[in-house]
């Protein structure tokens, strides 16, 4: 921030916010919209070609650029309020610049210059801390941070970067609503924006008056309904395991004990002992295919409708854990393709069922492995095709990215090797798929390091196309290096 432009000095209350604001996310079974679809307020809106500026308050401005010229007047999933009182704005055009000024801020835009950039847009304002000037792409080093979707996977040495939040010691915040879906009142649902390459920004200026910006944001994003009383009660979660139909595991002891009957006994025991219980969270054991995700009920709940009715009759609210993210990464999905609802879901997302593989080989067994100090294997080229691994131990079960083999080797690494002969004729693409690997693992094929996808929360499988590295009709060596990593997540 630099002190270049000065506006009339204003005085306002300075308030400190002494507590963090967190958001707790649960499954949403319905969407409530409180909104206004009124047209932009007269006198507070300035249109210049495909750019539109709406002064919602004297210190809050919306800046929109629509390549098609179709500006968004309907609510989005973030912004609900479209009706605001009129704001006095002084507008001038001089030397190719459009200048718009209220009592609190000044916005300058180079006429007919396209999308907002550092070179064609600036905002100046003055508060109790002095004069300020902002341009697009500037980083705010004093931002106090926002929220995270999840803390899964967070551990020492692997802390996620904090995304910018509403509050900043710099006294401003840029809300980028450019990619939020809009509300379609005819479909009573959300739809994509008409301009996917447009810009829709909201610039808040507030100095140290944090209460003011929180109030303005709450007004912009719509009324916040009070949560139901039962949400404040006691919760319990169960069925925290995977269910894959037709597998050996589902015939085991756990699936004979943990089912609908078990859940009913659990609820009745709470009631008999006078222990409060308001909500039952059924984890992913309620549906088939485990972490792959799905909407088909597992055989553990043979009559879902009757079971839900029974729970409601005993005063229990129900939450079903769903793991969405069907478009989190191109080509990946947490919805099992074996689920009966998959075609319907993919159709809504504009995607088709994947082509079934024409070639498949299991790699889970008969890996050789050893442990060593950090980087020892890399220096000794344990990944090379000609390396002698005859002294390595044989692992009959499937490999894992977890830390059982590090019990005496903290700070080191484990290596796996496997030799496999491939047929002379192979498809154009051949993917190796690995499950539950650590982010830092390295994959080698015939001595060459292979670039692979990165495992992430909800995406435990990683893969790589190894066609460029393999030799058809010959023995091929696959090597994996997995470093020690403390902690879980």
Q: What is the pLDDT of residues 105-164, one digit of tens each?
A: 999 999 999 999 999 999 999 999 999 999 999 999 999 999 877 776 677 777 778 889
Greatest alpha-carbon pair distance for the chain in Å reads 82
* Bridge partners (DSSP) listed for residue 280: 236, 318
The two structure tokens encoding residue 398: 């499937």
Report yes or no on whether pTM surpasses 0.85: no
Q: How far apart are the first and last CA of the chain?
A: 38
Cβ neighbors of 120 (< 8 A, separation 6 or more) are 109, 110, 113, 114
The two structure tokens encoding residue 348: 């809504």
pLDDT for 199-252, tens place per residue?
A: 999 999 999 999 999 999 999 999 888 999 999 999 999 888 888 888 888 888
Altogether, the residues listed in the chain come to a count of: 489
In order, the DSSP letters of 353-420 are PPPPPS-----SS-EEEEEESTTHHHHTTTTSTT---TTSEEE-S---SSSGGGTT-TT-EEEEEEEE
Give the residue among 336, 330, 323, 324 at the shortest CA–CA distance from 350: 330
Q: Which CATH architecture has domain 367-483?
A: Sandwich (2.60)
CA separation, residue 276 to residues 218, 231, 314 (Å): 34, 12, 12
How far is the C-alpha of 115 from the C-alpha of 351, rounded, in Å? 31
Domain assignments of the chain as residue spans, ordered by start: 45-221, 245-348, 367-483
Residue whose pair of structure tokens reads 């010959």 in the numeric block: 474
How far is the C-alpha of 463 from the C-alpha of 454, rounded, in Å? 8
How far is the C-alpha of 334 from the C-alpha of 286, rounded, in Å? 16
Cβ neighbors of 71 (< 8 A, separation 6 or more) are 47, 52, 64
Return the CA Rg of the chain: 29
* Bridge partners (DSSP) listed for residue 368: 394, 417
Angle between helices 260-272 and 304-313 (to 10 degrees): 0
The whole-number pLDDT of residue 460 equals 61
What's the distance, CA 268 to chain centroid?
37
Give the residue among 208, 226, 227, 222 at the shortest CA–CA distance from 18: 208
Element (H, E) at 94: strand 90-94
CA angle 289, 292, 298 (to 5 degrees): 25
Residue pair 403/441 in contact (Cβ under 8 Å)? The answer is: no
How far is the C-alpha of 292 from the C-alpha of 335, rounded, in Å? 5
How far is the C-alpha of 336 from the C-alpha of 338, rounded, in Å? 5
How far is the C-alpha of 172 from the C-alpha of 193, rounded, in Å? 26
The whole-number pLDDT of residue 168 equals 97
Give the residue among 101, 100, 136 at the shortest CA–CA distance from 116: 136
The whole-number pLDDT of residue 470 equals 92
Strands 317-320 and 279-282, by their bridges, are: parallel
The whole-number pLDDT of residue 284 equals 83
Per-residue pLDDT of the chain (489 residues; tens, 9 = 90+): 444 444 434 333 333 333 333 333 333 333 344 444 545 555 699 999 999 999 999 999 999 999 999 999 999 999 999 999 999 999 999 999 999 999 999 999 999 999 999 999 999 999 999 999 999 999 999 999 998 777 766 777 777 788 899 999 999 999 999 999 999 989 889 998 988 899 999 999 999 999 999 999 999 999 888 999 999 999 999 888 888 888 888 888 878 888 999 999 999 999 999 999 999 999 888 998 877 778 899 999 999 999 999 999 999 999 998 866 544 444 445 678 889 988 988 888 788 888 888 888 888 888 999 988 777 888 889 999 999 999 999 886 555 544 444 444 456 788 999 999 999 988 888 999 887 666 678 999 999 999 888 766 555 678 899 999 999 999 999 999 988 654 443
Give the residue among 365, 367, 416 at the shortest CA–CA distance from 394: 367
Task: For 434, list phi and psi in degrees, rounded to 5.
Answer: -125, 140
Residue whose pair of structure tokens reads 């997302």 in the numeric block: 349
């Amino acid at each position: 921030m630099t002190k270049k432009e000065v506006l009339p000095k204003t005085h306002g209350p300075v308030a400190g916010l002494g507590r963090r604001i967190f958001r707790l996310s649960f499954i949403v079974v319905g969407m409530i919209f409180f909104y206004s679809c009124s047209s932009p307020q007269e006198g507070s809106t300035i249109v210049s070609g495909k750019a539109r500026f709406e002064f919602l308050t004297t210190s809050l401005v919306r800046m929109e650029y629509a390549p098609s010229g179709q500006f968004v007047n309907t609510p989005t999933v973030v912004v609900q309020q479209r009706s605001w009182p009129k704001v006095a704005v002084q507008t001038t055009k001089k030397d190719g610049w459009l200048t718009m000024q209220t009592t609190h801020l000044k916005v300058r835009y180079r006429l007919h210059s396209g999308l907002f950039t550092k070179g064609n847009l600036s905002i100046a304002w003055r508060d109790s801390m002095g004069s300020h000037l902002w341009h697009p792409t500037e980083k705010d080093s004093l931002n106090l941070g926002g929220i995270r979707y999840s803390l899964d996977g967070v551990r020492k040495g692997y802390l996620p970067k904090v995304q910018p939040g509403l509050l900043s010691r710099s006294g401003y915040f840029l809300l980028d609503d450019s990619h939020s879906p809009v509300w379609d009142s005819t479909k009573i649902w959300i739809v994509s924006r008409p301009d996917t390459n447009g810009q829709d920004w909201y610039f808040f200026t507030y100095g140290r008056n944090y209460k003011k910006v929180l109030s303005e944001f709450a007004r912009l994003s719509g009324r916040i309904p009070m949560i139901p009383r039962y949400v404040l009660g006691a919760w319990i979660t169960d069925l925290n395991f995977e269910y894959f139909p037709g597998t050996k595991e589902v015939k085991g002891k756990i699936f004979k004990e943990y089912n609908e009957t078990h859940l009913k006994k659990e609820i009745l025991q709470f009631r008999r002992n006078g222990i409060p219980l308001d909500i039952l969270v059924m984890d992913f054991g309620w549906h088939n295919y485990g972490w792959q995700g799905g909407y088909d009920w597992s055989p553990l709940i043979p009559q879902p409708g009757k079971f839900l009715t029974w729970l409601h009759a005993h005063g229990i609210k129900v939450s079903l854990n769903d793991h969405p993210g069907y478009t989190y990464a191109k080509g990946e999905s947490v919805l099992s393709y074996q689920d009966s609802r998959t075609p319907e879901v993919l159709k809504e997302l504009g995607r088709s069922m994947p082509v079934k593989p024409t070639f498949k080989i299991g790699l889970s067994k008969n890996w050789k492995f050893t442990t060593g100090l950090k980087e020892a294997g890399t220096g000794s080229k344990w990944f090379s095709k000609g390396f002698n691994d005859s002294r390595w131990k044989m692992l009959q079960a499937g490999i894992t990215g977890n830390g059982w083999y590090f019990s005496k080797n903290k700070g080191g690494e484990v290596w796996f090797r496997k030799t496999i002969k491939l047929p002379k004729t192979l498809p154009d693409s051949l993917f190796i798929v690995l499950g539950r690997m650590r982010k830092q693992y390295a994959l080698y094929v015939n001595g060459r390091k292979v670039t692979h996808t990165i495992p992430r929360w909800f995406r435990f499988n990683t893969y790589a196309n190894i066609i460029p590295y393999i030799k058809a009709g010959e023995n091929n060596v696959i090597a994996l290096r997995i470093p020690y990593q403390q902690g879980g997540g």
